Amino acid sequence: MPAGAPSSAPAPGGFRLPFMKPKGPPQGAQGAAAATAPAASVPGVNTLMNFAEKLHLVGSQQKVDETASWNWQQTVEKMRGTGDAKLLTHYCVRLTKIERPPPEASQEVMGTVAICMLAYVEDADLVIAACNLWSHLCEGYDRDANARKHGIASVGAIEAILDGMKHHNSNREVLLAGLRALSNACRGWNEYADWQKQQASDFGAFEVCLPAIRTFAADTAVLHSALMAIVNVASGSGSSATRRKRRAISTGVIGAVAEVLDLHMANASVAHDCIVALGTIYSIEHSNLEDTPQSIKGAAAWKKLSNKFSAADLDKSKVAVIHSVLKCVQAHPRDDALQMSAQRTIGFLMKRS
C-alpha cells in the first residue's frame, strides 16, 4: 500500500472518533518505532485521554455545585431522616460548605447536630465534623456571630463538644476540632459570651484541656488550641469570671501550663500563649501598677523582683511561675508582644489572691 493511502484499520490504540482521520502505518524507522511504542504515546491518544480527564473533572465539578446548592434547611431535614453516622458526618461537612444560616435558625441547625453527635459520640469522624461545623458557625465578632454563639450554647452544643473530647481524649484530630470549636464559642466579652464561658467551665472545660496539654505536650498545634481555649473560657470580669479562674487554678491548669512553658521556652509562639494563659487565670484581681516592674529584662530586674517576692509573701507556686516567665523574657529579648504579656502576667502574680 502506498505511503499515506487511506486505511480501514482503526486509529492507533483502537479509538475511532469523527475528527481523527485514519492514517496508514508509517514507513521505515519511524514505522518500527511507532509499532513498539505504547498506545499512550501515539499522537491523538493523549489528546483523547486529556479530553476524557476534562470530562471527568467537569462532571465532578457539577456534583460539587449540586452539593453546594443545597441549603441548610434541606440538609438538616435529611439529617433528621437518617440514623447512619457516616451520612450524618457527610451532612455536617456539607453544612460547613454552604452559607451560614441566619442567627434565628442556628438553634434549629445546631440542636439537630448536637442530638446526632450525642447519639453517636463514639464515632470520631462525626465528632470532628460537628465540631468543625460549630467552629465555622461561631466565627466572627459581629451581632449575627454573637447571636449564633448564644443560640449554639442554648441547645447544648458546648456540652456536646466537651463530651466528644472526653470520649476521644487521646485522638489528636478530635481534640484539635473540639478545642477550636470551644474557643470560638466562648470568644467575646458581652453578657452572652460570659454565659457561654460559664457553661463551658461548669461542664468541665478546664478538666478537658488539662489532659490534652499533658498528653500532647510536644504537639504545638494542640497546645495552641488548648491554651487559647483556656484563655477564652477563663477571660472576663466580675464574680462569674472569678469563679472560672479559681476553678482553673483548682484543677491544676496552672501547673500544666507552667510545665509547657518550661518545655517550650525556646519557642516564642508557644511561650507567649502560655504567658497569656497564666496572666488570664491570675487576673482575679486587677494588677497593682506599683507592683508591676517597669522593666523585667536583665539581672537587676530579676533581683528586684526576688526582693518583692519576700515582701509580698508569695506562695512557692507563684514564685516558680514568675521565675519561668522571667527566663522566657531573657530567652526572647526582642519579642515585644511577649515582653508586654510577661510584664502584665507578673503584675497579676505579684498580687495576693
The string over 18-53, giving b where at least 16 C-beta atoms fall within 10 Å of a residue's C-beta and e elsewhere, is eebeeeeeeeeeeeeeeeeeeeeeeebbeeeeeeee
CATH of region 71-203, choose from 1.10.730, 1.10.1060, 3.30.420, 1.25.10? 1.25.10
Q: How far apart are CA 143 and CA 350, in angstroms?
A: 37
Are the CB atoms for 291 and 351 separated by under 8 Å?
yes
Q: Look at the alpha carbons of 244, 249, 250, 256 in this order and tell me if their dihedral is positive or negative.
A: positive
pLDDT for 285 equals 54
**In the block, which residue shows the cell 504545638?**
220
Q: Residue 186's closest CA among 213, 166, 205? A: 205
* φ, ψ (nearest 5 deg) of residue 295: -140, 140
**In the block, which residue shows the cell 523574657?**
329
First-to-last C-alpha distance (Å) of the chain: 103
Q: How far apart are CA 153 and CA 163, in angstroms?
A: 14
Q: How far apart are CA 233 and CA 284, in angstroms?
A: 14
Q: How far apart are CA 345 and CA 343, in angstroms?
A: 5
Q: Residue 183's closest CA among 113, 148, 234? A: 234
Q: What is the largest CA-CA distance in the chain?
A: 109
The residue type of 351 is K
Q: How far apart are CA 223 and CA 280, in angstroms?
A: 16
> Any idea where the domains of the chain sit in the sequence?
71-203
pLDDT in tens, the chain (353 residues): 444 444 444 333 332 333 233 334 344 444 444 444 433 333 333 333 332 333 333 333 333 334 445 577 888 888 887 788 998 999 889 888 877 777 777 778 888 888 888 889 999 999 999 999 989 888 888 888 888 888 888 888 999 999 999 999 999 999 999 999 999 999 887 777 898 999 999 999 999 999 999 999 999 999 999 999 999 999 998 889 999 999 999 999 999 999 999 999 999 999 999 999 999 999 875 444 444 444 555 555 555 665 565 545 567 778 888 889 988 988 998 999 999 999 889 888 876 54
For the beta carbon of residue 228, count every other beta carbon within 10 angstroms.
Answer: 21
Q: How far apart are CA 92 and CA 85, in angstroms?
A: 10
The string over 195-205, giving b where at least 16 C-beta atoms fall within 10 Å of a residue's C-beta and e elsewhere, is bbbbbbbebbb
Q: Residue 75's closest CA among 108, 51, 47? A: 108
**In the block, which residue shows the cell 485514519?**
22
pLDDT for 161 equals 94
* φ, ψ (nearest 5 deg) of residue 82: -130, 150
For the beta carbon of residue 333, count every other beta carbon within 10 angstroms.
Answer: 11
Residues in CB range of 139: below 8 A, 6 or more apart: 145, 184
